[in-house]
Amino acid sequence: LVQLGVFLFANGMIGYLYERRRRAEQLTDEQREWFSTTLASIGDAVIATDLDGCVVYMNGVASRLTGWSEQEALRQDIQTVFHIVNEDTRLSVDNPALRAIRDGQIVGLANHTVLVSRDGTEMFIDDSGAPIKGPAGEPTGAVLIFRDITSRRQARRALEVSESRFRAAQETSLDAFTVLEAVRDSTGQIVDFRWTYANPEAGRILAHAPENLIGRRLLDVLPGNKNNSELFERYVQVVETGEPHDLELYYDSERITGWFRNMCVRLGDGVAVSFSDITERKRIEIVEREQRQLAETMRDIAIALGRTLNLADALKLILAGVQRIVPCETVDVMLCDSDGLIFVAGSGGYTDRGLDEMMRGFHFPYRDLPLLRLAAETRQPVVVPDIKDCPDWVPMDFEEWRCSYVCVPIQLQEEIIGFLNVTSLESDYFQVPLVERLARFAHQIALAVQNARLYERALEAAATRERERLARDLHDAVSQTLFAASIIAESLPRQWQTGPDKVM
């Protein structure tokens, strides 16, 4: 009975142990199937090796990338199936799976690594290798996980080339270029901008090294963008509306002075700004406009002088031209009479100050005034930047408002016939270009005076000729009358003798 009991117990234990092993094997097969299905379903390529570096598993993605089917790859050396080389040197690269087995730790792939598939196709990959360890921590193999990054690498390289070209273009650009990102407060409002890029030309114009601008706030460096100009508000508007701007403006702040062209477009949550100094272009435009205006004024004056011989009308027209071309406070023309005294023949700007009547009363020798005398002797304009600093200036009670002055001699052939006097409220106002323009007006005044003189002489000559004609006519009439009277006087005695009754 005891033996039977032992047999039954042993048989039961054997059955129990057999069933437990069967269930364990079934569970292991299920787990292996689950892991195999999972690895086959992920997007990365997976290769597993044993301790000798021979392939024991490969999923479908790995088969596609390496060109080896799983059946062909099994038991093959990992370096044969997973053939990697350096992109530049073309030399074989240390296999991450073998390094993971050797070092017992996760190993990443070196940069610039290329996978060469079985058919010779090359692709850039990103991978890592890790050791596989048993329950006791002993190494049993390695696993490789990798992916094709060729498209990403090409896109990154294209971006790098694009950025390199952009930087090369901007570093050598004659236009300043900066990138600003918006700085917002807790409510989302833009309160400033921060530099993220500035090229060398921007650094030159802004008087800051480009690297010193990066990270700094716009209004900390250039408060004039908001305080003295509309640039800050313009940038905010571009970010909020997406509408670019292209404007020309005069800037005078932070020791930056001049005309600038400013072009701005939205870039993310900020702006890209290109700007250039156009001060010289503006100066040329102003000079061209002034020259054109001067030429048109001179043409109109020349035409008018051909139509009028009245000196007062001609001077009025010329002085109006002076005030249009050379904005000034007052202007007057002083002419010399036959006795060497000067008088005001025409003026402008004195009416508002109530000085017209007094100007018309001037009549004195010009040599009593040092500046007029100097202009006459040198036959050149005399410029006084500030009359307060001029010892030769003859002060008058009514002229405390004057600041700078120029006297241009009016010359007709070799004779100084007068002076063109112009004043301004600005000190040092009469620079060379303005003085040259005034000299042209002085020449027009000389022509007007010459025309008026010729006209007066013509009138005098005409009057003289008329008097002479009348004298001749009178002389002829008187002569004829006297001749007739003498004939009558001679014939009357004879007629009286022959027939007195006929004489009566």
β-strands 341-348, 415-424 pairing: unpaired
Q: What are phi and psi of 175, to 5 degrees?
A: -100, 145
- CATH 3.30.450.20 location in the chain: 42-150, 173-277
Separation CA 334–CA 362 (nearest Å): 9
- The yes or no reply on domain 285-457 and CATH 3.30.450.40 is yes
pLDDT of amino acid 11:
41
CA geometry: angle at 139 spanning 138 and 145, to 5°? Answer: 140
Separation CA 206–CA 422 (nearest Å): 40
- At the top level of CATH, the class of 173-277 is alpha beta
pLDDT of amino acid 133:
85
**From 3.30.450.20, 2.60.120.10, 1.10.10.10, 3.90.550.10, which CATH number describes the 42-150 domain?**
3.30.450.20
Rg (CA), the chain: 54
One-letter identity of residue 399:
E
Separation CA 314–CA 308 (nearest Å): 7
Number of CB atoms found within 10 A of residue 445's CB: 28
From residue 53, how far is each of 134, 340, 343 by CA, in Å?
A: 16, 121, 117
CB neighbour list of residue 269: distance below 8 Å, 6 or more residues apart? 181, 182, 239
Q: Which two tokens stand for residue 260?
A: 């600038």
Separation CA 283–CA 277 (nearest Å): 12
Q: What is the DSSP letter of 207?
A: T
Separation CA 107–CA 22 (nearest Å): 38
Quote the pTM value. 0.54
Contact in structure between 329 and 349 (CB atoms under 8 Å): yes
pLDDT of amino acid 2:
36
pLDDT tens, residue order, the chain (504 aa)? 433 343 334 444 444 554 555 555 554 555 555 555 555 557 789 999 999 999 999 999 999 999 999 899 999 999 999 999 988 888 888 888 888 888 888 887 777 789 999 999 999 888 788 888 888 888 889 998 888 988 888 888 887 777 777 677 677 788 999 999 999 999 999 999 999 999 999 999 999 999 999 999 999 999 999 999 999 999 999 999 999 999 999 999 999 999 999 999 999 999 999 999 999 999 999 889 888 988 898 888 888 887 778 888 889 999 999 999 998 988 999 999 888 788 999 888 888 777 777 777 778 888 888 999 999 999 999 999 998 888 888 776 555 667 899 999 999 988 999 999 999 989 999 999 999 999 999 999 999 898 888 887 877 777 777 777 777 777 666 666 666 667 766 666 666 566 666 545
- CATH 3.30.450.40 location in the chain: 285-457
One-letter identity of residue 368:
D
